[in-house]
Amino acid sequence: TQELMIKSEKLSVAGQLAAGIAHEIRNPITSIKGFLQLMENDIPEKKDYFEVVSSEINRIESILNELLALAKPKASDMEKVNLIELVNQVVTLLNTDAIMKDIEIKPVFMCKRCMVVCDENRIKQVFINFIKNAMEAMPSGGKVMIEVEQSDLVTVIKFIDEGEGIPDEIAGRIGEPFFTTKSDGTGLGIMVSKQIIENHSGKVKISSDQSGTCVEVEIPISYCR
Ligand code: ADP
Ligand code: MG
């Protein structure tokens, strides 16, 4: 809308950076707070939650390192990662919230060992952004499918939700910095995620109709396997 465009035009470069930082760091802090609260009680899941908290703290650390890297650029942190483990970790992280919202997050792996050469923390950040968008598109619950498949050429990860989809009128603006339809959104998630996937020589495709949205991430196989 008109108001949104004016708002983003008026933001300075420093303001844009500040909003980006806030967005990427607020997510892990919110989950750390939530999981710490759960860990107050002596429950059997304590060890799992501890691992989630610990990995979220690591993520904040990496994000801060990334920002410092803006001042002093260096090659990103590429390593061989098992997507099955990574996806399962992200699902554990988001599941408590999902269950409260009557949402089922269902990963489907069509490869036995889904190895990808990538920057693990950034890819994790991308998956969290897309799953959160899927969850936010289903205020009264539903299912988010995460399909992972691999050919000789590419790894494809699809995030499929049962929300109401993206109206045609706004489809062209999705991924523009600060474009959001949410009262508490920042409109940075898709832009940042797209940038990260493009840094992996990959692509993000979004398709949508009234019965849901599919966000498809495609990463070419490089020297792995
Ligand atoms: P934010 O989530 O902060 O709004 P994003 O960049 O993640 O920012 O998303 C931008 C906009 O794209 C959202 O406000 C929403 O309108 C739309 N969108 C993204 N993902 C979905 C989805 N899975 N279903 C419907 N709309 C979506
Ligand atoms: Mg988002």
Confidence class of residue 73 from pLDDT cuts 50, 70 and 90? Answer: very low
Pick the residue whose CA is nearest to atom 21 on ligand 1: 133
The secondary element (H helix, E strand) that includes residue 124 is helix 120-136
Instruction: Kindly indicate the confidence band of residue 74, based on its pLDDT and cuts at 50, 70 and 90.
Output: very low
- DSSP-assigned letter for residue 41: S
**pLDDT value of position 69:** 53
Rounded Cα distance between 111 and 46, Å, is 31
- Least trusted range by pLDDT, from 44-48, 66-70, 71-75, 84-88: 71-75
Q: What are phi and psi of 48, to 5 degrees?
A: -60, -45
Closest ligand, as measured to the CA of 178: 1
How many C-beta neighbours within 10 Å does residue 89 have? Answer: 16
Task: Encode pLDDT of 152-184 as tens digits.
Answer: 999 999 999 999 999 999 999 998 876 889 877
Q: Any residues with Cβ below 6 Å from ligand 1, and which?
A: 129, 133-134, 137, 161, 163, 165-166, 174, 179-182, 185-190, 213
**Amino acid sitting at position 175:** G
pLDDT score at 223: 55
State mean pLDDT over 23-34.
Answer: 89
